[in-house]
Amino acid sequence: MKALILAGGFGTRISEESVYKPKPMIEIGEKPILWHIMKLYSHYGVRDFIILAGYKQYVIKEYFADYFLHNSDITFDLASNDMTVHNNNSEKWKVTVVDTGLNTMTGGRIKRVQKYVGDEPFMLTYGDAVADVNLDQLLAFHRANGKYATITTTSLAQQKGVLDVSEEGQVRSFREKSDDDGATINAGFMVLEPEIFRYLTDDTTIFEQEPMRRLVEDGQLMGYRHLGFWQCMDTQREKQKLEELWGANAAPWKVWED
């Protein structure tokens, strides 16, 4: 099974770093967050990746073209123009990087890689969030329900105190936030059947809008509830949080062995 990773956006909310590279290439522990996501999939045996690139897509291509240089010790014999790779830290991955356009929306990006996906189910996620989702259980849930699409859902915690306010503005009660106040959101980590391409039209299609609404109307969308760790990296503060977890050897998304 192939895993598609959306990696083409501008990353404007973390522009301190995305001005130089695509957001999925921003590093956590000296590794792009894209690498962390791919390591999760690889742990569950999914090693055929299609990267849906756009903004600064050449940075992603150059990273994989020079993967040995990034991850192994190298001896350069300048006299003979030879290069020897030591302690080869390569992955058993097949990676297809597709330039899906600079301004293409998410649904349009998925539509553009249909020829690489073929007529088979596939996985899809966003290139800016890590989690400890059990992909085997996700896939089993998807297959058991027999629908076109399964998304992973998680609870986004309420960040503020909760108020009960009357129409006149009178505060009737106040309490601190609790876990029950969170909203259920789409966390990515989806499983999709090839029928999904029928719901995608052109580059302007935003996958999370009309296609999702139509899937709901057709009774073809399931939600797999994830109770574990999930964190996106939209801001510098969120990046720092992930860096601290990784640096403390306490990253919940690291389910693989070194």
The predicted-structure confidence for 44-60, as pLDDT tens digits, reads as follows 999 999 999 999 999 99
Number of domains observed in the structure of the chain: 1
CB atoms < 10 A from the CB of 144, how many? Answer: 10
Query: Is residue 72 one of the residues assigned to a domain?
Result: yes
Q: For the segment 226-246, what is each residue's pLDDT rounded down to a tens digit?
A: 999 999 999 999 999 999 999
User: Nearest to residue 230, comparing CAs of 158, 137, 155, 130?
Assistant: 130
- Could you tell me the CATH number of the domain that includes residue 89? 3.90.550.10
Query: Is residue 177 one of the residues assigned to a domain?
Result: no
Query: Is residue 176 one of the residues assigned to a domain?
Result: no
Can you give the pLDDT of all 258 residues of the chain as single tens digits?
A: 999 999 999 888 888 888 889 999 999 999 999 999 999 999 999 999 999 999 999 999 999 998 888 878 889 999 999 988 887 777 899 999 999 999 999 999 999 999 999 999 999 999 999 999 999 999 999 999 999 999 999 987 655 555 565 566 555 555 555 555 567 889 999 999 999 999 999 999 999 999 999 999 999 999 999 999 999 999 999 999 999 999 999 999 999 998
Dihedral angle of Cα 176, 178, 183, 185, to the nearest 10 degrees: 130
Dihedral angle of Cα 20, 24, 27, 28, to the nearest 10 degrees: 150
Please tell me the predicted confidence (pLDDT) of residue 168. Answer: 61
CB atoms < 10 A from the CB of 81, how many? Answer: 7
Domain with 125, as residue range(s), is 2-154+184-247
User: Can you give the C-alpha Rg of the chain in angstroms?
Assistant: 20
Query: Is residue 80 one of the residues assigned to a domain?
Result: yes
Query: Is residue 6 one of the residues assigned to a domain?
Result: yes
Query: Is residue 167 one of the residues assigned to a domain?
Result: no
CA 93, CA 175: separation in Å to the nearest integer? 49
Query: Is residue 70 one of the residues assigned to a domain?
Result: yes
> Percentage helix, strand, coil, to 5, in the chain?
35, 30, 40
Query: Is residue 217 one of the residues assigned to a domain?
Result: yes
